[in-house]
Structure 1
Amino acid sequence: MSHGWGYAATNGPDKWGENFPIANGPRQSPIDIVPGETAFDAALKALTLKYDPSTSIDILNNGHSVQVTFADDTDSSTLTGGPISGKYRLKQFHFHWGASDDKGSEHTVAGTKYPAELHLVHWNTKYPSFGDAASQGDGLAVVGVFLEIGADNPQLQKLLDAFDGIKAKSTQTSFANYDPSTLLPGCLDYWTYDGSLTTPPLLESVTWIVCKESISVSPAQMGKFRSLLFSGDGEAPCCMMDNYRPPQPLKGRKVRASFK
C-alpha cells in the first residue's frame, strides 16, 4: 500500500502525482479512444490467448480491486501476436467499476463510459520476472475488455460467487481451475497504444490492447461487485466502487486499430 493511495477525494487519482510524478508523464493510461481518430494498421496480427485453467491460483481483495492471480512460472497461460513480439505470460486479471451503471470503465470510447472494465495483465518473458518487466517500456501487455449492461453473464458467475469469501480488504481465497478466456468477447478486434499502469506506481511499461467488442453483465451482477469493501475487517465498512482512473491526455500518441 505505497503512500496509501486510493480512490477517495483525499488520496484519489487527482492526488497521485504528488507521490508518483510519472502521473503526468508522456504515456499515461487510460485514454479516451476516438474511433474516427484511430488508424487501421494492416500489420497488426490477430491476438492469440492460450490460457490453462490449472494455472489459476487465488482470488483476492487487495483493497483497490478484486484480482485473480495465476501461476506464471511456465508458459502455460500466454498472450502472443497482436501488436507485441515475443511471448507474454498471464500474471493476474482484475476489474474497475463504478458506483452506478453509467460509469466505471477506465478507457472510454468517444467519451462513452461502460459500467466496468476487465484487465488481463501479462509480462514479457524476455525479462526474468513480472517485477523486472514492470519497469521496461515493452515489459507488460494488458488486454482490456469492457463490460456492458445486458443479460446475466454465466462466465462471470463463478467469479462473483467467490466474492462472499473476500468481502474485506486483504482477504483471499483459493480459486482453482478458472479459464479466463471465457471472459473474452467473441470477436477479438482491438485498439492498441503505448501506455501505463492505471494504478500507482503508474509505470509507463504497458502495451494496451483494448477489445472493441464488450461482454455482457447484468445490473444484479454489477451490484455484486459493489458489495466488496475497500475497508478491512474491523474498519467502518466502505463499499468498493468508482475504483477507476479517468482518461489521461494522449500527448501525441497514435492509437492503432486491428480492424477497418
Structure 2
Amino acid sequence: GTGLDPQHPIKISPGLCPPSPSSGSVRVSLPVSLGQVSKSGGTRQSPINIQRRDSVYDPHLQPLRVSYDPASCRCIWNTGYFFQVEFDDAAEQSGISGGPLENHYRLRQFHFHWGAVDERGSEHTVDGHTYPAELHLVHWNAAKYPAYEEAVLGEKGLAVLAMCLQAGARHEALQSTDTRAPGSCSQDRRAAMGPFNPSCLLPACQDYWTYSGSLTTPPLAESVTWIIQKQPVEVAASQVSAFRELLFSPLGEEEEFMVDNCRPRQPLMGRRVRSSFRPLKWG
C-alpha cells in the first residue's frame, strides 16, 4: 500500500533511522537545501571534521552509562527530512549519563542521515573521511529544563550520541524490514512501533570523542554536547540503500527521494575536541 499502516507497523532497522535533533514542536520545514543550513553566524556549529591528532585525551572522561527501556519506544515518524523513532520521555526510563555529562539526559528520539551514494552521507567526518550514513540518538537534560522544547534552546540542553555507519557485514539487529514499506513512507506519516532497545545499535568499543556544538537542522541551536563513537557500526550496503527509497515529499505529491539529508561540515572556531582514549602516537 501507500504510506504507513498503524495496525501493521513496519520493523525498523535498529541502526538506520535518520539523525536530526528536531522533534516535537521544533518543526523543520523541509526538504532543506544544503545551502539553507550552511550558515548560522554561530561559533559552535555542527557537524565538524574530527582530526585524530588534534583531539585532546582527557583522563577524567568516564565511560558513558547507557540505559534504554525497550518499552519506552513509541512510534516512527517521517519528518520530511529523515526518519525519526520517538520514545516516551516523560520519565527517566531511557537515557544516558556519565562521560562528559553532568546530569542524566533522557532519550527523546533517534534518526539517521545518509547520502545518495555510499561515498557521502555522514555529517561528521574523521580525518576527512566520510561514511555512508550517521546515526544520532538525541537526549535532553531533564535535570535542568522542564521540557524538551526548552532544552533545545538552552545551554547544555541536549546530548547527542552519534556513530557513523560503514559498509561491511549485514547488521543483524537491523531487522530485515519490509523494504518496500519504507519506500512508500511519505512526509509526515507516522506508525506505532513496538518495543525496541537502541542499545543494539551501539558499537562494542566504548571509546568516544566529545565537543560542544549545535543541532544540524534548524534552529541550529548551540545547545548540544556531542558524543561521537570512535568505532563505526558495520551495516550491509543494501541496508543503507533501502533508506534511499524513503520520500521527502508528502503523499500525493511528486516523489522526491530522501537522500543527502546531511549538513556540510562547519568551522571548528577554536573549539577543543576531547577523547576518552589515548590517541595513537604519530611518527
TM-score (ref. length: structure 2): 0.85
8 Å CA contact retained: 1:187, 1:213: yes
Give the whole-Å Cα distance in 1 for the aligned partners of 2:88 and 2:203: 23
Aligned to 1:15: 36
Aligned to 1:6: 31
Give the whole-Å Cα distance in 1 for the aligned partners of 2:54 and 2:180: 39
Give the whole-Å Cα distance in 2 for the aligned partners of 1:41 and 1:162: 43
The percentage of aligned residue pairs carrying the same residue is 47
5+ residue gaps, structure 2: 1-25, 279-283
8 Å CA contact retained: 1:48, 1:80: yes
Q: Give how far 1:219 is off.
A: 1.3
Aligned to 2:185: 167
Q: Give how far 1:217 is off.
A: 1.2
Matched, 1:65 2:90: no
Give the whole-Å Cα distance in 1 for the aligned partners of 2:179 and 2:90: 25
Give the whole-Å Cα distance in 1 for the aligned partners of 2:180 and 2:227: 27
Larger deviation: 161-170 or 99-108?
161-170
Spell out the pairing of 1:8-47 with structure 2 (5 A cutoff): 12-16=33-37, 23-47=40-64
Aligned to 1:250: 268
Higher relative helix content: 1
TM-superposition CA deviations, 1:70-128 (whole Å, max 9, x none): 00001010100010111100000000000011110000001000000000000001211
Give the whole-Å Cα distance in 2 for the aligned partners of 1:2 and 1:145: 24
| SS in structure 2 at match of 1:226 | helix
Change (3 A) 1:149 1:251: same
| SS in structure 1 at match of 2:153 | coil
Larger deviation: 148-157 or 102-111?
148-157
| SS in structure 2 at match of 1:24 | coil
Give the whole-Å Cα distance in 1 for the aligned partners of 2:159 and 2:36: 26
TM-superposition CA deviations, 1:7-62 (whole Å, max 9, x none): 4xxxx232236xxx7x2200000000000000000011100010000000001111
TM-score (ref. length: structure 1): 0.93
Q: Aligned residues, how many?
A: 251
5+ residue gaps, structure 1: none
Aligned to 1:232: 250
Aligned to 1:212: 230
Give the whole-Å Cα distance in 1 for the aligned partners of 2:170 and 2:148: 34
Letter in 2 for 1:107: H
Q: Give how far 1:157 is off.
A: 2.1
CA RMSD between the two structures? 1.6
